[in-house]
């Protein structure tokens, strides 16, 4: 694709249809069948939705929320909104109904596309979100006002007009481990810059298995947009529980994962190899379907040991770094330069990065316009010269970039020393006995609160004794100002966000051991 011609998401869908035509863009399961939808069909269907929205909303500017797992219908609703120059608001399907209503009201949502499994929420949404005028069910259900398949049968393709790259395309909420969710405003230009900033990342021969939640910009940009650009086929993982089955069925060449899933698959491969008496490498190759070229990891810190373990299976793995506010890539995984040093990969083209007082600060055409109706937060994140203050702490060494933690989580001790809790937590990433860990300051002491793996050690006191020994070991690798001085052991898991990150604001604390 000639990337100089792509100024908007609409251009991307249109050019993909012209270039890749009848090739399959999406493959998904419908019962026991696999249904394929081509690039050309996708372009056509999105224009029909644009036509419907124009009529239903009488030309009013649309802010359309979309909720549900990845599906062809979801993408048609999403891009149908985009085609007419309107704004999408992808929502996290795991949120409680009250939160969903709050986010929709704050983003001025007036159209709601929903997967039929969320239909039971409609009565509450209708009461709490009076601004929503049009409801579209992505699958038929009893009582649905509009159903996507009927729209596709009934409407003709809309006439589409060029969308300026500076137009707002999406308001994407950041989940965050602390504080209130903020709506990141991304323009067509932001998302296109990020999708076009690197070259030769994929090709029409590639097949992706899309397993990450679609409302995350990492999945949206790197699965959905890059496949439009390169003509790759996306296979939809219809449920988390079916990853293994879908890997065998679709035999992807590329997969994007978050570290938690990558670590768990690794553990399962090792357990299965042991149970079956087979070499782990053979089990791994079979598990991934036999055609996998590589795994991209993002979303959280990935321990180099995991990269190394996959490398031993003959599966290259590399991690990138980004954030919703940067559409999302700041650094990208590079399979030609797999690093075992724990750094975050290659800085993408067009992105300037500097470190100011330990914080990573970036400037690029991918950087958001600000937070929707939240000028105070925007002023904190974006300075007058357009630099985005990421809130991440990091450093550069020998041309590589490393992340040490979040600025807002920084522990500032009474002696003025700054300690990043994530840097200490990462030291426990491969210690099986520490199933979950949170590090914070308490009464001036650096405290590690740990939920032990009770299967390995059911007795809390015994686990605490062992953990104290492990902490002593870990402390020998740390400067004295950063050593862990107090251990709390809890008998239950930490509360987590819907993206499975531990919430840093917890009410329950384990006992001091």
Partner 1 sequence: MFEQLKELICNYVEVDESAITEDARFIEDLGFNSYDFMSMLGEIEETLDVQVDEQEVIKLSTVGDAVKYIESLKA
CB-CB contact of 13 with 83 (8 Å): yes
From the CB of 213, what's the least distance to partner 1, in Å?
13
CB-CB contact of 106 with 128 (8 Å): no
Could you say whether residue 384 binds partner 1 (CB under 8 A)? no
- Which span (10-18, 125-133, 233-241, 346-354) binds partner 1, by CB under 8 A? 233-241
From the CB of 110, what's the least distance to partner 1, in Å?
29
> Applying CB under 8 A, which of residues 35, 124, 140, 240 lies at the interface with partner 1?
240
Q: At what angle do helices 188-196 and 9-20 cross, to 10 degrees?
A: 50
Q: Of 50 and 261, which CB lies nearer to partner 1 in the complex structure?
A: 261
Could you say whether residue 276 binds partner 1 (CB under 8 A)? yes
Q: Of 32 and 58, which CB lies nearer to partner 1 in the complex structure?
A: 32
- Which span (83-91, 220-228, 234-242, 296-304) binds partner 1, by CB under 8 A? 234-242
Rounded Cα gap, residues 108 and 114, in angstroms: 17
The SS3 assignment for 247 reads helix
Rounded Cα gap, residues 89 and 93, in angstroms: 12
* Residue with tokens 């002696």, as numbered in its chain: 415
CB-CB contact of 59 with 71 (8 Å): no
CB-CB contact of 16 with 39 (8 Å): yes
Q: Of 192 and 261, which CB lies nearer to partner 1 in the complex structure?
A: 261
Could you say whether residue 268 binds partner 1 (CB under 8 A)? yes
Could you say whether residue 497 binds partner 1 (CB under 8 A)? no
Q: Of 240 and 379, which CB lies nearer to partner 1 in the complex structure?
A: 240
Segments in 107-147 forming alpha helices (H): 122-128
From the CB of 453, what's the least distance to partner 1, in Å?
6
Could you say whether residue 242 binds partner 1 (CB under 8 A)? yes
From the CB of 29, what's the least distance to partner 1, in Å?
12
If you count them, how many residues does the chain have? 513
From the CB of 405, what's the least distance to partner 1, in Å?
23
CB-CB contact of 263 with 306 (8 Å): yes
Footprint of partner 1 on 89-118 (CB under 8 A): 117
Rounded Cα gap, residues 154 and 407, in angstroms: 52
- Which span (258-266, 384-392, 463-471, 477-485) binds partner 1, by CB under 8 A? 258-266
The binding track of 16-55 with respect to partner 1, each residue x by CB under 8 A or -, is ----------------------------------------
What is the CA angle 87-91-96, rounded to 5?
Answer: 145
Strands 321-322 and 294-297: unpaired
Tell me the C-alpha to C-alpha distance, in Å, between residue 20 and each of 39, 222, 422: 6, 18, 44
Q: Of 154 and 500, which CB lies nearer to partner 1 in the complex structure?
A: 500
The binding track of 447-486 with respect to partner 1, each residue x by CB under 8 A or -, is ------xxxx-x----------------------------
- Which span (213-221, 369-377, 437-445, 492-500) binds partner 1, by CB under 8 A? 492-500
From the CB of 502, what's the least distance to partner 1, in Å?
13
CB-CB contact of 261 with 299 (8 Å): no
Footprint of partner 1 on 116-135 (CB under 8 A): 117
Cα–chain center distance at 116: 23
Could you say whether residue 245 binds partner 1 (CB under 8 A)? yes
From the CB of 94, what's the least distance to partner 1, in Å?
11
**What residues pair up with 182 in beta bridges, in sequence order?**
174
From the CB of 3, what's the least distance to partner 1, in Å?
36
Could you say whether residue 244 binds partner 1 (CB under 8 A)? yes
CB-CB contact of 351 with 363 (8 Å): yes
- Which span (22-30, 236-244, 326-334, 373-381) binds partner 1, by CB under 8 A? 236-244
Rounded Cα gap, residues 132 and 147, in angstroms: 16
- Cis amide linkage into residue 276, ω under 30° from 0: no
Q: How many helices (H) and strands (E) does the chain have?
A: 16, 27
CB-CB contact of 213 with 499 (8 Å): yes
Tell me the C-alpha to C-alpha distance, in Å, between residue 431 and each of 98, 159, 166, 305, 437: 38, 58, 47, 12, 10
Q: Of 260 and 303, which CB lies nearer to partner 1 in the complex structure?
A: 260
Could you say whether residue 271 binds partner 1 (CB under 8 A)? yes
- Which span (97-105, 185-193, 242-250, 305-313) binds partner 1, by CB under 8 A? 242-250
From the CB of 79, what's the least distance to partner 1, in Å?
26
Q: Output the six-digit token pair for 400.
A: 């590589």
- Which span (241-249, 328-336, 376-384, 406-414) binds partner 1, by CB under 8 A? 241-249
Could you say whether residue 267 binds partner 1 (CB under 8 A)? yes
- Which span (235-243, 336-344, 380-388, 394-402) binds partner 1, by CB under 8 A? 235-243
Rounded Cα gap, residues 433 and 407, in angstroms: 28
Rounded Cα gap, residues 8 and 435, in angstroms: 44
User: Strand order in 400-406's β-sheet?
Assistant: 352-356, 359-363, 388-397, 400-406
Cα–chain center distance at 489: 30
From the CB of 403, what's the least distance to partner 1, in Å?
24
From the CB of 274, what's the least distance to partner 1, in Å?
7
Please give the residue ranges that form the binding site for partner 1 (CB under 8 A).
117, 239-245, 260-261, 264, 267-268, 270-272, 274-276, 435, 453-456, 458, 492-493, 500
């Amino acid at each position: 694709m000639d990337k100089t011609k792509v100024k908007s998401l609409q251009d991307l869908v249109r050019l993909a249809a012209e270039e890749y035509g009848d090739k399959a863009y999406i493959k998904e399961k419908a019962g026991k069948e696999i249904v394929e939808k081509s690039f050309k069909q996708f372009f056509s269907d999105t224009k029909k939705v644009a036509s419907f929205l124009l009529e239903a909303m009488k030309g009013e500017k649309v802010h359309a929320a979309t909720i549900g797992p990845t599906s062809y219908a979801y993408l048609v609703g999403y891009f149908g909104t985009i085609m007419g120059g309107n704004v999408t608001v992808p929502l996290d399907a795991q949120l409680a109904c009250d939160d969903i209503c709050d986010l929709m009201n704050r983003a001025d949502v007036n159209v709601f596309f929903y997967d039929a499994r969320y239909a039971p929420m409609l009565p509450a949404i209708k009461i709490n979100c009076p601004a929503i005028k049009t409801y579209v069910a992505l699958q038929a259900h009893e009582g649905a006002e509009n159903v996507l398949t009927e729209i596709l049968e009934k409407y003709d393709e809309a006439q589409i007009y060029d969308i300026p790259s500076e137009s707002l395309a999406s308001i994407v909420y950041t989940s965050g481990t602390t504080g209130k969710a903020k709506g990141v405003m991304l323009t067509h230009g932001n998302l296109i810059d990020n999708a076009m900033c690197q070259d030769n990342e994929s090709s029409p021969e590639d097949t992706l298995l899309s397993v990450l939640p679609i409302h995350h910009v990492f999945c949206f940009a790197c699965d959905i947009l890059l496949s439009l650009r390169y003509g790759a086929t996306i296979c939809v993982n219809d449920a988390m529980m079916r990853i293994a089955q879908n890997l065998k069925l679709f035999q992807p060449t590329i997969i994007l994962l978050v570290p938690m899933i990558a670590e768990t698959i690794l553990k399962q491969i090792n357990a299965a190899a042991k149970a079956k008496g087979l070499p782990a490498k053979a089990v791994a190759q079979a598990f991934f379907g036999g055609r996998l070229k590589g795994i991209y990891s993002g979303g959280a810190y990935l321990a180099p040991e995991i990269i190394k373990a996959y490398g031993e299976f003959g599966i290259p793995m590399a991690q990138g770094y980004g954030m919703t506010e940067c559409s999302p890539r700041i650094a990208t995984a590079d399979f030609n330069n797999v690093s075992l040093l724990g750094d975050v990969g290659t800085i993408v083209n067009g992105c300037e990065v500097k470190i100011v007082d330990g914080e990573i600060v970036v400037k690029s055409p991918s950087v958001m316009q600000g937070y929707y109706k939240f000028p105070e937060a925007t002023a904190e994140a974006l300075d007058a010269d357009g630099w985005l203050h990421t809130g991440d702490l990091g450093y550069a060494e020998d041309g590589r970039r490393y992340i040490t933690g979040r600025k807002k989580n920084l522990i500032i001790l009474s002696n003025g020393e700054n300690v990043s809790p994530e840097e200490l937590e990462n030291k426990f990433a491969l210690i099986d006995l520490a199933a979950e860990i949170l590090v914070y300051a308490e009464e001036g002491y650096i405290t590690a609160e740990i939920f032990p793996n009770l299967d390995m050690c059911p007795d809390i006191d015994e686990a605490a004794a062992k953990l104290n020994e492990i902490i002593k070991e870990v402390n020998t690798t740390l400067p004295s100002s950063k050593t862990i001085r107090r251990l709390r052991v809890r008998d239950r898991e930490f509360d987590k966000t819907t993206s499975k990150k531990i919430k840093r604001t917890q009410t329950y604390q384990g006992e001091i051991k």
